[in-house]
């Protein structure tokens, strides 16, 4: 994906945004999951590594069940930063790769497949634990 054109970047970004919206909507169909989503307060920056050390960014905000996923990075007041190669994140969201696999295996650039960093609001370990339940279709728990 060297020298990815702007249109290609926008396509990759819109694919992830639509995928996350669809996953959350699917989870809302389960009453238990819907209740937990409605109680969730989460602000995450996602970086999709399209070339080595080159990212396209979007943010995911869930406040009392209201969902906002948009292009760009939250500059202040966010809980976590998650960086991944697009194909690895896609395999994670469709349930093909486990959280363990994503945290301990290396991507094509020699980094962990799922890189998680604390946000401006601290480490947020409780929120970190909820991420697989939000992002993965396969995992029914939140």
pLDDT value at residue 94: 84
pLDDT value at residue 3: 64
Q: Which domain holds residue 60?
A: 6-135
Q: Is residue 142 part of a domain?
A: no
Cα distance between the two ends of the chain: 34
CA 24 to chain centre: 12
pLDDT value at residue 135: 76
Q: Is residue 130 part of a domain?
A: yes
CATH number at residue 43: 3.30.1050.10
pLDDT value at residue 45: 95
Q: Is residue 141 part of a domain?
A: no
Q: Is residue 50 part of a domain?
A: yes
Q: Is residue 36 part of a domain?
A: yes
CA 19 – CA 93 distance, rounded (Å):
8
Q: Is residue 80 part of a domain?
A: yes
Q: Is residue 66 part of a domain?
A: yes
pLDDT value at residue 111: 96
Domain count, the chain: 1
Chunked into runs of 10 residues, the chain (142 residues) has average pLDDT values of 77 90 89 88 94 94 91 94 94 87 94 92 80 69 52
pLDDT value at residue 78: 94
Cross-strand pairs, 54: 51
pLDDT value at residue 44: 93
Give 88's Cβ-side CA count (13 Å radius): 25
**CB burial of residue 18 (10 Å; 0-12, 13-18, 19+):** exposed
């Amino acid at each position: 994906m060297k020298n990815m054109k702007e249109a290609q970047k926008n396509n990759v970004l819109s694919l992830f945004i639509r995928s996350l919206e669809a996953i959350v909507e699917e989870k809302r169909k389960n009453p238990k999951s819907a209740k937990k989503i409605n109680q969730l307060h989460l602000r995450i920056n996602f970086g999709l590594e399209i070339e080595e050390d080159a990212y396209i960014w979007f943010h995911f905000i869930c406040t009392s069940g209201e969902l906002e996923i948009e292009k760009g990075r939250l500059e202040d007041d966010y809980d976590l930063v998650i960086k991944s190669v697009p194909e690895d994140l896609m395999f994670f969201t469709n349930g093909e790769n486990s959280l363990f696999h994503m945290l301990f295996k290396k991507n094509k650039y020699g980094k962990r497949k799922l890189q998680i960093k604390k946000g401006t609001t601290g480490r947020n370990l409780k929120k970190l634990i909820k991420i697989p339940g939000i992002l993965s279709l396969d995992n029914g728990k939140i």
